[in-house]
Structure 1
């Protein structure tokens, strides 16, 4: 039985042990922004790769015990290692967004993210990919070819010219030979496409049902752990492609989550060159190689008979066996680098990256190999990210904002990139006066990475004559300056880069009375917050 919408006389029980908390008012100059806060359990060491964290946290799928609460503003974010905000994509990507990355296209750095519908229960989405330039302006929206819908799982730029995407395509078929009843007629044809980034033209398309039998699935149609096949919304997702890569020879690498296997595909014929793991593996698996329900397979290197790939090994799916126990194939999830020899047909583990807190993610995840040899592993449904040295030593570990009343944040993939942001928008500035008479100016510029110093000036008249008030080094998203020497009517600020160049100037901020964020009492929460329970 489910109990939903239970208002809180019960909240006192849940919150009795918690301290009173302030409203989520992180920035005086941008009170509209409420980015996730990182709970950092291993602070970044000097060994971490240079660059920012690229994350897109969202509310997780509810568990059996309670409704989970995700980040206050689910969106793509660029963050520093200390959790400080660089850019909030809230409002730029206006619907559900995931797989947020940086790429290069036409010789310039760009941002991209999937945005569209999210079906958390079946692990797919339908939408398109939106590309932004360094000014955070939309320059391209890319959609699938052949009258199909882009799925959330993959968008991967190849050689700055093409993009690999994945399509979730339910089709009707006679499935009785695989244990279905005559009424169970729907199966997912897992498709990937390669598109020209500039024109959107379809260059290559591959479909699983043309090359892979449903008998290779590790999740049978009954009891319906990957869909029961009764209708197109409940189609049996027997293969489930969640990543695609392409090598310099024009061949593809795909991860098939529900077959627990990685396939190399001939880029001309679409034939399968080899399978790694799963029911029909072409390789003998060495110690530590075996994986299941994996994500984010990528080519690392190729040299003659030897190929190296990386992947994220979930080793869990969230489904249950016949005795009600969740299925998992290893104690924890992990990032892996695997060497394949196509002469001896042996697969060996080069390096494994294992979570500091024994995390086991039932969905999502990624392993990014960084330029300095480190690896950034994103733990998917566990809402955490870790950077490792090449030897597997964790040197940074953080959990993403968990919102109100506990857990619930997930993040499909996580990355680290160097990035230069040059926003077109005008910086935001406010001038707040306290009840005691002190005045402070606050300024921020969402997405800016180049400002080194903010210089503040009072504005005395309509002609715009300015008097220097002082300057403050920019060390975080928001910079403040206490105004000395009496009350001022208006303030502007110049953003100055490391070379002393003025990048832009704010508008004029006039004095407002500062208001302290209120404290939330248990009574306030009980009157204003609903908590949902499932039993």
Structure 2
């Protein structure tokens, strides 16, 4: 349980602490309180009145009349507490939060927005998937754009990752991770949920004293979320030529009840995956923690058990959710599957079981400072025969038209129409394919930093703030008007209003929306102007603040 000072008893519906006996091998018997886990999960949390000690075995005994998931009636289970290294929680080199955009856009009506330019190399062909494109070029913020590369929404100055749409309480939402990036490939931050007005409705933290890592934030249909965390633990590394008390990164998977913030399920790589299964060299620096597993995705399988990817073991695990035990390993040194031709992967990301039973995974085939295991990174779709324990290619691997090799990050998304979208991780590209491998859509974005994942999803955004406007004197009774509404997906046209004062504005003309920002030159003797966003039926969606010639108005006020 590591840093946790409590035990979760999933499936238990009693809140009588007398039915639970908790004994530490060093700290002795523990009295405590039982409290419900939360509305989305049956079970209770036992919080002891005194903390456990490091490096002790804790035995939890259950009254014979009480059922606990994964424990026989009247049985018991054990876990071992860890000893943490406090001076090596994260690598010391934290990436500074300045912009890494190489080529950016600018807008008269929103001068505060400078997103990276998206360059579509192959326009979306017939048969491409529906929806908008979602990415988060790291320190430059979450971003939505359309098939033409035109900006739809941008949240600047936020160090973000894993930006996408999900469903929470039956409603579509936006989710992402935010926090400082560092040079070690793992992070400590916060997971965000926002509604269709782009308003934050929840912050989801890791529990049990850990910090949320960027690699996964997956909502469930029962009010919880899976997330990742890392913690530096002291482990005997003498079998690998290391110190007696060496620093090892423990990869942690958690399921957290969103409403209560309580941890309802937790898994650790240490104790479940041996250090000898790693495929990476032992670190030479005494201050560097050994990231032997490197968790980077968590997903529920169709049977409710958990699929976990370990980048540095070249393996994907299926974990029994009730017991935490490994059901099987795919790939790596201890694969339970016979790997067919072309199915081996390395340094992989985004392992996900699909509804048709296939397993999709992004095969990086490379990392920094090591020889690649394949000439290019690939999107893999695998058929798993769990009776005969064989793995075969279900489809021909997806390879970038640019033959990209991504040393980190990346994802493979199966779209509702059967196509596949690949985000090329450390390489700032994205590509959509038919199942047969035909490229339907391909583009890049001009940022030094990559986007951890790229998604295509349907989305309807209705911003809570007003549209933005900017005006400029064009001479000879001409006025140039620019208009935009960050995040609005329903605006189809703009109505320009003008008048002698702020309270007497009348329609002058209507112009079709043209990308993120629409510009129009009008002839007018008016002193004040505003713009009104209209949907496809001409219904008003929102109106800007009025401005005089030479002014700009947006969420930050009028300048």
TM-score (ref. length: structure 2): 0.78
Q: Deviations over 1:381-438 (max 9, x none)?
A: 1111111111111111111114xxxxx2311101011101010111111121135653
For residue 501 of structure 1, report the CA deviation from its aligned partner: 1.7
Quote the residue 1:138 is aligned against: 200
Local SS of the residue matching 1:262: strand
Matches within 5 A, 1:164-183: 164-182=226-244
Indicate conservation of the 8 Å contact 1:434/1:513, yes or no. no
Distance 1:311 1:488, change over 3 A: same
Quote the residue 2:164 is aligned against: 101
Indicate conservation of the 8 Å contact 2:483/2:519, yes or no. yes
For residue 319 of structure 1, report the CA deviation from its aligned partner: 2.2
Indicate conservation of the 8 Å contact 2:505/2:528, yes or no. no
Q: Deviations over 1:175-214 (max 9, x none)?
A: 11122144x6100111100111222221100001111110
More relative contact order in 1 or in 2 (CA 8 Å, sep 6+)? Answer: 1
Indicate conservation of the 8 Å contact 2:494/2:533, yes or no. yes
For residue 106 of structure 1, report the CA deviation from its aligned partner: 0.6
Of the three residues 354, 364, 384, the one matched with 1:314 is 364
For residue 25 of structure 1, report the CA deviation from its aligned partner: 5.9
2:316 matches 1:259: no
Quote the residue 2:539 is aligned against: 501
Distance 1:25 1:146, change over 3 A: closer
Q: How far apart in 1 are the matches of 2:222 and 2:155? A: 23
Distance 1:122 1:412, change over 3 A: same
Q: How far apart in 2 are the matches of 1:367 and 1:394? A: 14
Matches within 5 A, 1:295-306: 295-301=349-355
For residue 58 of structure 1, report the CA deviation from its aligned partner: 3.3
Quote the residue 1:378 is aligned against: 423
Matches within 5 A, 1:208-223: 208-222=269-283
Quote the residue 2:99 is aligned against: none
Matches within 5 A, 1:72-471: 74-91=140-157, 94=158, 96-119=159-182, 121-159=183-221, 161-182=223-244, 185-222=246-283, 224=284, 228=285, 230-231=286-287, 234-301=288-355, 307-320=357-370, 327-351=371-395, 352-402=397-447, 408-435=448-475, 437-462=477-502, 464-471=503-510
Q: Unpaired runs of 5+ in structure 2?
A: 1-101, 553-559
2:519 matches 1:480: yes
Indicate conservation of the 8 Å contact 1:107/1:160, yes or no. no
Q: How far apart in 2 are the matches of 1:488 and 1:23? A: 37
Q: How far apart in 2 are the matches of 1:277 and 1:492? A: 60
For residue 295 of structure 1, report the CA deviation from its aligned partner: 0.1
For residue 480 of structure 1, report the CA deviation from its aligned partner: 2.2
TM-score (ref. length: structure 1): 0.81
Local SS of the residue matching 1:316: coil
- The size of the alignment, in residue pairs, is 450
For residue 128 of structure 1, report the CA deviation from its aligned partner: 1.0
Q: Deviations over 1:253-287 (max 9, x none)?
A: 01100000001000100111011110001111111
For residue 492 of structure 1, report the CA deviation from its aligned partner: 1.5
Distance 1:510 1:202, change over 3 A: same
Indicate conservation of the 8 Å contact 1:451/1:495, yes or no. yes
Local SS of the residue matching 1:215: helix
Q: How far apart in 1 are the matches of 2:175 and 2:343? A: 32
Q: How far apart in 2 are the matches of 1:494 and 1:347? A: 57
Q: How far apart in 2 are the matches of 1:57 and 1:180? A: 37
Q: How far apart in 2 are the matches of 1:385 and 1:35? A: 17
Q: How far apart in 2 are the matches of 1:387 and 1:179? A: 46
For residue 452 of structure 1, report the CA deviation from its aligned partner: 1.3
Local SS of the residue matching 1:318: coil
Local SS of the residue matching 1:457: strand
